[in-house]
Amino acid sequence: MRNAIRGCAVAALMVGAGGASAGGLWLNEFGDFAGGRAAAGAAAGVDEAMTIAYNPASIARLKGNQLFFSAGAVVPEMKFDTSYTTQRLGSVNGGDAGEVAAYSSMAYVHDFDSDRWSAGIGLVPLSGARIDYDDNWVGRRQATEVSLTLMALAPTLAYQVTKELSLGVTVQAYYSSLEIKTAIPSLNPNNADGEGKIDGNDVDVGFTLGAVYELSDRTRFGVFYQSELEPKYDGELKTNPANLSFDTQTKLTFGEYARFAVHQDMDERWGVDFTVGWDNWSALGNVPLNTENRGVAIPARWEDTYHVAWGTQYQLDRNWALTAGVAYDSRPVNAFSRNAQLPIDEQIRYAAGARYAISDTLTVGGYANYADLGKARISSQRWGGDFGDANSALQLIANVNWTF
């Protein structure tokens, strides 16, 4: 039984071997108009209150007070195709493991009627995943269900140092939860697998820093830094049919990342945007899980990822604006270290969106963002395969921004 429990713990630890919607675990888009160009150039500032999530310094550009809200859904497709397996594991592929997840974000920015100071607060989703495989699929001992959430309440302060340069800082009070279900191999090979479940949550703090430099009315640059977050999930490990329960603590490192962005207005209608970035996913290192009298640490073997995005926007007329873009993130983990809990490879995201100005102070809009998550091959010792052409996620978002 101890070996079975250890097997469950090891499987649970491996949540560190995949990603949500960026090169690693981070989300890149936050529901605003810039999401329709795959967030290209967003760290150089956007003209809605959700700019608070891309670069805290950029709120200094906004005039008046602004309130932003977005809502929508992420619709994934994840179908694993088995290449090799053992007789005991079987050959069931796992069905469509992607689960539709709701999405929402909010932001408020206040300018104090000041030429220098601005402040704001955002409720921002930073990471998330929902996966549900068939219970008897070939990779069930890595995972049958996964749920990961990371949300931040983000008070922000910005200061305009000169006409060209603004600086900003955000303190993130974040909440994270993690739940994993996995099959536990029976000590008797003639018996069916048991089931293990680990869940936990944590509340802690992080921060972001940013700077925006406006070279001219048409050209601006932005630099953004997100600190490392390291939630510790105090939870419980339960096993079935042994009906045992153990207090646990798991630590998962969300690596720091940086973005450099450029926005350029070509004329009164056209604008182009570019972003390049780096994510420190090699910081993930070993992922520990401890119980009352046992501890294990599994090397995640993650690599740093690199991010590039390009986009454009077009002012069609007084009311309508259109945008489109593409983004690329390198892979965080290779086939021998990747597992089924969050099966992500290199990614390409294609986005398009629109915004309509109801008045000078009220806009509504939305976008679609399609993410190709790669084949995500898994090459474990006893089984393997890939997700082929069925590993993707479609983000559909509507938003509203009010200036007052």
Model confidence pLDDT, tens digit, residues 208-224: 999 999 999 999 999 99
Residue 290 has pLDDT above 70, yes or no: no
Residue numbers of the domain that contains 385: 2-403
Q: Which of 347, 286, 258 is nearest to 23 (CA)?
A: 347
pTM, two decimals, is 0.90
Please name which of 267, 234, 282 lies closest in space to residue 23, comparing C-alpha atoms.
282
pLDDT exceeds 90 at position 243: no
Q: Any idea what the CATH number is for the domain that residue 134 is in?
A: 2.40.160.60
DSSP 168-226: EEEEEEEEEEEEEEEEE--SSTTSPPEEEEEEEEEEEEEEEEEEEEESSSSEEEEEEEE
pLDDT of 312 > 70? The answer is yes
pLDDT (mean) for 233-240 = 72
Collect all residues with Cβ–Cβ distance below 8 Å to 190 and sequence separation of at least 6.
none
Q: Alpha-carbon distance 17 to 344, whole Å?
A: 8
The label of the residue with tokens 């089924």 reads 340
**Distance in angstroms (rounded) separating the CA atoms of residues 262 and 363:** 24
- pLDDT over 80 (residue 332): yes
The number of folded domains in the chain is 1
Q: Identify whether the C-beta of residue 168 lies closer than 8 Å to the C-beta of residue 156.
A: yes
Share of the chain above pLDDT 70, in %: 87
- Mean predicted confidence (pLDDT) in 335-360: 92
pLDDT digits (tens, 9 = 90+) for 102-120: 999 999 999 988 889 999 9
Exposure string over 287-306, b if 16+ CB within 10 A, otherwise e: bbbbbeeeeeebebbbbbbe
Structure tokens at 310: 């390009």
Rounded Cα distance between 202 and 355, Å, is 37
